[in-house]
Chains A and B, each alone.
Chain A
Amino acid sequence: MSEERHSQQTQAGDEFEREPVPQNRLLGFKSFIGMYAGEHCAGTELMIGPLFVAAGVSAFDLVVGLIAGNVLAVLSWMFLCAPIATRARLTLYYQLEKICGRQLVTLYNLANGVMFCFLAGAMVTVSATALGVWFKFPMPELSDLYPNSVGWVIAVLACGAMISVVAAYGYEIVSKVANIAAPWMVLVFIAFGLVGLKQFIDATGSEVHNLTDVWTLAKTHIWQGGAPHPGRVKFTLWHVMFFAWFCNMAMHIGMSDLSVLRFAKKSWYAVASGTGMFLGHFLAWLAAAILYAFQMHAEPGNTKVLPGPLAYQAAGLTGLICVIIAGWTTANPTIYRAGLAFQAVVPRSSRFRVTLITGAIATVAAMFPALAMRLLDFVALYGLVLMPMGAVVFVDFWLIPKLGLRGSYAEFSGRHFNWAAFAAWIVTLAVCLAIVFIVGNWTLYFVALPGWFIASVVYIVLSRFYQKQVHPAAAL
């Protein structure tokens, strides 16, 4: 059995769900490179790049912000998530169950499932924009909140129904297609950027002989900065950096990738996440941003962020296939995951039915363009919602024992609901969302940073009270 194959099987989570991964099942560095590279080249990358342009970002802020943010994301995987993963070698679920108790983990799954559901909705939206190129129905504007045509609704229904049914039957075939498409998709993303760059050169009559000329073109024509589109937060270097850092917050700081990195022989293998960051969250975002900037240059009044037409203009049918596959192969497992999360809440329901219902919810969400057109906000919110539990895991693993308290207290006490962890989660969310509503929407991209410290402090303080008051069941 090849190492990669073994990697893929073990990542399925069908092994060692409630025990540490043994030494003889650990994986080499190469396994993680492929996994992270494929994971972060998704359909939503084609939305995020253009939305940066719509936010009025400048070339320097975009490029430097993305480099800094992606480096911080990789460091978060390396120094927050991986050290715990390679010491405990447990899934996030089991780690959380030991700390928080089974009932609180179920609640966490519900939140996770809702977030997955809406994320899948955005991916369905991306795929549906490809159908618009063929069938020529009116597609949503950047500022649209509601479905704007019958054709759009039918296209989303068709995409969503197909994805949901496949997900309900199990998505082994789709996951194989995703594997095959991954290297092809990365190259198509790069081709988008090269074609867009040439179109800019021709349209502006620029003379480009070296990288300095490319940079000048980028500054003066592609990402000029300036005012954002109406209703958008103006993106500076800080916004870009924090967005790039926190867009996968659920995975690194939120500790979701404990389940993956528990198989790593060494914690530094988490540096492999850099492949995903710099292929998907740098090259792909820049390429998609170039396409949208060119659309704005060619037709200043056309502010629509529609991956289908953008990709078709640059790469023809190959571009459309890329949009459909990118949206489909990422929406499918996301709906499946959301279904699993909901099934955990209602264990007696059939996985088939739950996944279909989940897909239906994602499809209805996808009809509302607000979800995809506000994807930057949603992704920031997604990380924020799941982050506090990552802080709880971090504190429980490293700090709680050093403070004279007991780690994994739910397991120790035999309780199913750790109120200290729950309060850390809810108080953090309440404070962070209050800041966003009171201070302004722009804080949504930053508030998770103080939020992590709030969650940590609240968990430590409340654990002191909780562990004094709640004793092991057998001791009562």
Chain B
Amino acid sequence: MRSILIIVSLVSLVALILPSILFLAGRMDLDKAKWIMLLATIIWFVTATGWMWKEPGKTQKDEAVIP
């Protein structure tokens, strides 16, 4: 399950950047690119949450500076 989530989430990242590349190449209009990016965003947050949530969050590195 975890492997599937990782694969789907990585594919969603490709789907996130691809529309802007296609838009730059003149192969896609901007409205369609925006919708695909939104879809990819939703898929990323759903699937990545599935396998990244249990990892500890990014912590504040400067906290150690504080007494």
Taking Cβ atoms with an 8 Å cutoff, the residues of A that contact B are 2, 4-5, 8-9, 11-13, 17, 35, 38-39, 91-93, 97, 102, 105-106, 109, 112, 171-184, 187-188, 190-191, 194-195, 197-198, 256-257, 259-260, 315-318, 321, 333, 336-337, 340-341, 343-344
Contacts and interface: CB of A to CB of B under 8 A. Distances in A.
A4 B55 contact: yes
A337 B58 contact: no
Contacts of B49: 180
Given A183-B13, A184-B13, A190-B20, A321 B55 contact: no
Contacts, number: 148
B17 A190 contact: yes
Given A38-B58, A175-B57, A180-B52, A105 B16 contact: no
A178 B37 CA distance: 19
B3 interface: no
- Consensus secondary structure, chain A interface: helix
A38 B58 CA distance: 9
A340 B63 contact: yes
Interface in B8-52: 13, 16-17, 19-21, 23-24, 26, 30-31, 33-35, 37-38, 40-41, 44-45, 48-49, 52
Given A11-B59, A318-B38, A187 B24 contact: no
A207 to B, nearest CB: 12
14 contacts: A12-B64, A13-B60, A13-B61, A92-B64, A93-B65, A105-B67, A176-B52, A184-B16, A184-B44, A256-B65, A316-B38, A317-B38, A318-B34, A336-B60
A112 B60 CA distance: 14
A93 B62 CA distance: 9
Contacts of A182: 58
B49 to A, nearest CB: 6
B4 interface: no
Nearest to B10: A183
A220 to B, nearest CB: 18
Most chain A CB atoms below 10 A, which of B40, B41, B52: B41
B34 A317 contact: yes
Contacts of A8: 55-59
A179 B64 contact: no
A13 B57 contact: no
Nearest to B47: A180
